[in-house]
Structure 1
Amino acid sequence: MNPTMREAKPEDKPFIEEIAKLTWGGGDYLARVFDDWLKDGGFYVLELEGKVIGTAKMTLLPGKVGWLEGLRVHPDYRGRGYGRLLHRFILNLGKKLAEEGKIETLEFATYFLNRESIAMARKDGFSVIAKFFNLGARVEDFQPEEPEPAEIGMEDLTLGIIPLGWKFVHRSGEALRWLRGNGEAYETGGFRFLATKNGATFTPLSTGLGCIRAVLPAMAWVARERDRERFDLMLPGGMKPVLSGLKRLGLFLWDETDEPNVLVFRKNLR
């Protein structure tokens, strides 16, 4: 029996939860975003004999970007070409949206050790447009301090590409509105940072070592309030020269590397 692609439905949630439980040691975010992705649309599943064995998501971002995310294959079905099938489906969807004038580029971010996704992307004409460090931290290593809510403006967006969790938007007025609507901003000691809603991945809006040292207790507070024992920071790859200093602040990389471990890819469609 051949697998079929279709839009995700509410009754798919148990299958998605199973895939998430078996991905990244149970740390996959897929189950947490399931309801939001259903509402947003562009969320697809690969079904085989009544069982959801894979997922893929197309999210429309500012600047006519089609953002690819959530490409997963159940561990029991890997190595059979289903990942490539999902990848081709979402690329063809991107071409269709480009023909309709809804998007102009496809973009996605992936971990630097995700060799299969990187190889597929390069083969299909994607190229790296930005590199970031994703560093982890433990709440218990800091004395949490409550920050104040903040309203960000264009002056806060000092990077050309701004992360919000594992999505990245290009600096513009439209992107600012999107960040305000999809994230939360906090301020402590005059320094601001972005947080994903209900998540624990943070973007410091000032990236000096002193600035990051100042916001870490506030990030720990937000993470603790969200029942997280750990949190992550997304930092530009240009901070490589101070990586040792970041580690002395209590931050760590998930794998041994001195290079940025998050790659942002783009493919122009027009």
Structure 2
Amino acid sequence: MEPAIREARPGDKPFIEEIAKLTWGGEDYIARVFDGWLGDNFYVLEVDGKAVGTAKLTILPCKVGWLEGLRVHPDYRGRGFGRMLHSFMLELGRNLAEEGKIEALEFATYFLNKESISMAESTGFQVRAKFFVMGAPAGETEEPFVVEPSISDITLGTLPVGWRFLHRCEETVEWLRKNAVLYELNGLRFIGPKEGATFTALDPGPAVLRELMPAMGWVAKGRGFDHFDVMIPSAMGAVLPSLRRIGFELWDETEEPNVLVFGRRI
């Protein structure tokens, strides 16, 4: 049977759970979001009656089509299926642009994901932002306050919310109210998605992060994680030694930013 790309169905979930168990050491989030993604530009690549790959397009504020969830089962890699899914999503993006729903496609990837980077560069994507993702154990904790976001809270030109990266516009504020949580401790604020444990301090300096670590740890533990990650803008690269001294570590040792945000107009 020829490979075919189609919308994901409820019956695909066992196959997606298998892919998740074999991705990122079993820590892939795809299985957790499967139900919520159904019916919302979520596609699978079917081979011999089973879903062996996935891809998702999420419409974000400021008319951005966010590409995420591109996966191929390890047993089916090396056969061009990742590029097939990527090309399909580009065509979907062009259709949405013709309908006036988006004006650009963007996605983020880890710096070691050479295949995704190669596909992006060969299809007109360019890096538009860079970050360091660093992790720390959830040690001593302190409960933060939850506050309502406003446009003044979007202090970064590109705002990471977990592994999605948003532009600054009024529409983003409404999106944050529905899809993220803004926390405050001792007058300092950080933001994260409603699930997971990847956060962004609105002022990402070492002193601020040191103050916020107990609050980030509190949120992480409440969600079942014993560690959490933070996104640090690439311009803060010089403070990485200070962040290491207070307990943060890079996933892989590198002098360069390890999270790349790509984009292209369509």
TM normalised by structure 2 equals 0.98
Q: How many residues align?
A: 266
Q: Tell me which residue corresponds to 2:177.
A: 180
Matched letter for residue 213 of structure 2: L
Q: Tell me which residue corresponds to 1:8.
A: 8
Q: Tell me which residue corresponds to 1:258.
A: 255
- 1:48-87 matches, within 5 Å, as 48-87=47-86
- 1:159-238 matches, within 5 Å, as 159-238=156-235
CA positional deviation for 1:11: 1.4
Contact 1:148 1:186 in 2 (8 A): yes
Query: Residue deviations 1:135-172, cap 9 Å, x none?
Result: 11111xx2111111111222221111101111011011
Q: Tell me which residue corresponds to 1:26.
A: 26
Determine the C-alpha separation between the residues in 2 that align with 1:257 and 1:212: 21
Contact 1:243 1:258 in 2 (8 A): no
CA positional deviation for 1:111: 0.3
Matched letter for residue 245 of structure 2: R
Determine the C-alpha separation between the residues in 2 that align with 1:124 and 1:102: 21
Matched letter for residue 4 of structure 1: A
Query: Residue deviations 1:177-233, cap 9 Å, x none?
Result: 111210011110110111211211111111121111111110001100111112111
Find the residue that maps to 1:12 and give its secondary structure.
Answer: helix
Find the residue that maps to 2:62 and give its secondary structure.
Answer: coil
Q: Tell me which residue corresponds to 2:243.
A: 246
Matched letter for residue 122 of structure 1: E
Say whether residues 1:158 and 2:160 are aligned partners: no
CA positional deviation for 1:36: 1.4
Determine the C-alpha separation between the residues in 2 that align with 1:180 and 1:261: 28
Q: Which runs of 5+ in 1 are unaligned?
A: none
TM normalised by structure 1 equals 0.97
Say whether residues 1:99 and 2:98 are aligned partners: yes
Contact 1:12 1:52 in 2 (8 A): yes
The runs of 4+ residues in structure 1 deviating greater than 6 Å are none
Q: Tell me which residue corresponds to 1:121.
A: 120
Determine the C-alpha separation between the residues in 2 that align with 1:196 and 1:35: 17
